[in-house]
Amino acid sequence: MNILSKIVIPLFVVIVIFYGFKKKINVYDSFLEGAKEGLNITLNIFPAIIAMVFAINIFLDSNFIYFLLKAFKGILDFLNIPIEIMPMALLRPVSGTASLAIMNDIFLNFGPDSYLGRLASILQGCTDTTIYVLALYFSSIGIKKIRYSLGVGLFADLVGIVMAFLLTMLLF
């Protein structure tokens, strides 16, 4: 698996460049043209990233999420859901770095092979930073009305989170 994931990118680059060479296009000029486009794309998302990081960090630094979880501790205990995993589950749609940092904490405190460690690993892998991706992708092309996309995206994440809980309980 490790070798496989290491060979994917170099192989991909070789195929793309060799195919361009075979089709007799000016590979270098194409690259520069595309790279220029990439620069514009990044400039377009620059303000959205600054805005999102600003809001997310204020929210995280206020520790509001831990306050909220304390209020629901009774229900979580009843459902046999460890409270340590909840900040990660709640933050996963918003920030990949934040949930990764919490996973790192869980590995440090409980070990990667504990129930919590496995649960965190599966959770991180099967969901994505939905809110962040939506904001980034839509703002890059100037979409203002995002319609039902956020609801469907968060629903998919919720299913992923529930499945991660069930599978960790069933399989390990």
Interface residues for another protein in 92-131 (CB under 8 A)? 96, 100, 103-104, 107-108, 111-113, 117-118, 121-122, 124-131
- DSSP character string of 42-99: HHHHHHHHHHHHHHHHHHHHTTHHHHHHHHTHHHHHHTT--GGGHHHHHHTTT-HHHH
Check: CB of residue 146 under 8 Å from CB of residue 138: yes
Check: CB of residue 73 under 8 Å from CB of residue 83: yes
Among 32, 70, 77, 83, contact with another protein (rule: CB under 8 A): 32
If one asks whether residue 83 binds another protein (CB under 8 A), the answer comes out as: no
Among 20, 69, 76, 115, contact with another protein (rule: CB under 8 A): 20
Judged by CB, which is closer to another protein: 35, or 79? 35
If one asks whether residue 61 binds another protein (CB under 8 A), the answer comes out as: yes
Residues 127-156 that bind another protein (CB under 8 A): 127-131, 133-150, 152-153, 155-156
Check: CB of residue 123 under 8 Å from CB of residue 92: yes
Site for another protein (CB under 8 A): how many residues?
A: 97
Shortest approach of another protein to residue 62 CB, angstroms? 4
Which amino acid belongs to residue 172? Answer: F
